[in-house]
Every structure is written in C-alpha cells, then in structure tokens.
A = this chain, B = another copy of it.
Amino acid sequence: MYITGIGRTKFGVFDTSLPELIYEAMYKALNDSPIGITDVDAVIFANFLAGPNQGQLHLNSLIASLLPRTNLPIIRVEAACASGGIAVNQAFSMPKKFENILIVGAEKLNDHTTKTIARNLAMAGDALRDQKEGLIFPAQYAILADQYLRKYDASHDDLMLVSLKNHRNATLNPLAHFYHKDVDLEAINSSPMVCSPLNLFDCCPISDGAAAIVVSMIKKGDRDVKIIGSTVKTDAISLSQRTDLTTFKAAILAAKDAYKTANVGPKDIDIAEVHDCFTIAEIIAMEDLGFCNKGEGVKLIRDDETSLSGRLPINTDGGLIGDGHPVGASGIAQICEIVEQLRGGAGQRQVPDAKIGLAHNIGGAGGTAVVHILEGSK
C-alpha cells in the first residue's frame, strides 16, 4: 500500500469547528495526491472525543456531509490517542477492492475548560477503577516516570532533554503548536509541577487539528511512500492489571510483528516518530521499539543520538510535545512527517538520506499500540 498524498492543518488552539478542520486536511491531502475525490473508494476517520466534547457522534455520516453525493463507505474508529494509527492500520487491512482510501483524523479539544478537557481525556483510562482513583493522564504517566527513575540510572534531567529536543524541532515546523516558542533548559526546569516528577514541559499541549493521507494499492508516482509494516496490539486498560510499569507490552509486540512483516529490524530505521505524550513516554518508546536495551533510552538522549543531526532522529516534527496532540489526528500526523522526510520535503528539519521510517502511536497508558514502518521510493 502506497501513500500518495498527505495534508494537515496547523495544530494549536483555534476557533475553527471540527468539520472545518476535517475538511481542510482532506482537501490538502487530496490536493497533494494524483487521486481525486471521485477516485476515492472508502474513507477511514479517526477521532476520540467528539461525542463528549462536541455532542457529535455518527462521524462517518458527518464526513459524508462534507463529500456530497459520494455515498462512500466511511468507517470511524476510536482507540483514544491511538485512533489515528488504528485508522491507518484499518486501511492497510481493507480488501483490495478499495483501490484508493482517504484516511483522516481530527480532534477539537479547546471548546471547554481545562477541567472538562482533563475529565474527558481521562475516558481513555479505566472508568470503574483508575478514573475513580483520580488517575487522569498526567498522574498515570507520573507513576510510570516515577517507577522508571527509581529502577534505572536516570533522572528528571534526562526527561528535560527530551522536551528540549522536541521543542527545538517544533521551531522548524511551521504547522507545529509551538512553532513560535523558544525554549531552553532553564525554562523547562523552572516550569510548574504538574504531577511529580512531571512538570509542565514534560507534557504535550492540548491541541486542535486534523491530518489526512491518501493511500493507494498501486504506486502512482516516484515520490510515493510504501507502508511495509502495520500492526496493532492491545493491553489491559487499567494500570492495576499490568505487571511492569516501565514498559508497554503492547508496543513491544506490535513492533516485533511490524518488523517481521516489513522484513527489517530496529537498526534499519533511519527516522522515527514516537508517541511522546509525556517525556517519559519517548524514553519507554525507544526501548520498546528495540532502538536500545531496556533502561538505556536515556543514554540515547544524553548522547544526542536522536536529535536532527544524530544517528536516529526522533520526532523531527516536534512530536506530541512540540507539534501538539490533537488526539485523533496525531497518529496520522506522525505518518505525514515520515512521508515528508522520506520524500525529502521536510525543509529546515530534513534528515539527509532517510529511507525507512517508523511511526509509533499509543492509546492511553499503553492500552493500545500501533506501529507502522514506511519505505521511501528513493
């Protein structure tokens, strides 16, 4: 399956409505592809919170309204923050009779107070147990960070380096939520505590935005990027049901299967987008994906190996921390960035000679993991 077009909105805090965001991303992706809307055979849509936030479900039919008289098969999928990755995986799973599929993800979070947003985002966690214990997202990841820092030779100083790198990358990405935000270690270090040991700069922002790609079963041009691996795995939703809180088993299993399908290994990956909803998540991701041994993720950061000029650049677009995290869009925006890089069109943040890229998208605190591996045409 080939990615023949990509498009996304800027991420940030906007007055734009959800349908407008969706429309803009779809329009841009189709414009970027040789495939026109009349050649599209199906649409997959990813969104997490439009029900609680906008009072709007039945989102596949909402998209039908934006594509009048096409009456296409349109499927909406939801897997919390992994909704976007799941959507791309579903397209990868669709039967060959759908030659061209439009995949779009969108989220409009900034319609409410921070308290309401935090409560709604917590719907990604177990309602009967974790939510009742007050485990909103920063609290869940703070537990993971605390466990990690106790178990391995690591400190909050290492986590700060993840935030610094991703914020710096975002200043090279005009569509990023924090494009205009200059950040240094002093600012990161002195930012308010959110949930110990995580402070404000350990957390991704609450963003609105949309991203879309067009995929085709047949290669359409020289700049097309091939999806060579795509796997979804799950794990129990409640942290109370996990045995190790310093790793995501679903991510390890998804990566293993995706590498196998793609017939590549961690050493073959030139660039990666990993799910850094919190700084600790990027460290865990590097280990789960096999980029280093368990407990050694912090070394990659300290040695600058994952910066734009490093051996394995990670989150070149700024990641969720710098680029933003409009939930349903994030997994698809990761793919957009990998495609930009493999095409050689990433401008100031271009990594030279990238051939194979990996995208790692997580739902909740590891309850869902989606791994995609992409190969450029060059």
Contacts and interface: CB of A to CB of B under 8 A. Distances in A.
Interface string A62-104: 1111001001111111111000001001100111000000000
Contacts of A232: 73-75
Nearest to A73: B232
Contact of A58 (B54, B79, B93, B253): B79
Contacts of A17: 128
Contacts of A236: 61, 64-65, 68
A60 B73 contact: no
| A-side interface mostly | mixed
A233 interface: yes
A79 B65 contact: no
Interface in A195-246: 231-238, 241
A119 B231 CA distance: 37
Given A58-B367, A64-B234, A64-B237, A76 B73 contact: no
**Interface-central residue, A128, A231, A253, by most chain B CB under 10 Å:** A128
A350 interface: no
Given A48-B57, A71-B253, A76-B79, A367 B64 contact: yes
Q: Count this chain's copies in the assembly.
A: 2
Given A55-B131, A64-B237, A123-B51, A77 B80 contact: no
Looking at A68, A73, A80, which has the most chain B CB atoms within 10 Å of its CB? A73
A159 interface: no
Contacts of A334: none
Given A49-B51, A71-B234, A241-B68, A61 B78 contact: no
Contacts of A250: 64, 71
Contacts of A241: 65, 68
A264 interface: no
16 contacts: A17-B128, A55-B127, A58-B78, A60-B234, A61-B79, A61-B237, A61-B364, A62-B126, A64-B237, A65-B237, A65-B238, A71-B233, A71-B234, A71-B250, A75-B79, A90-B90
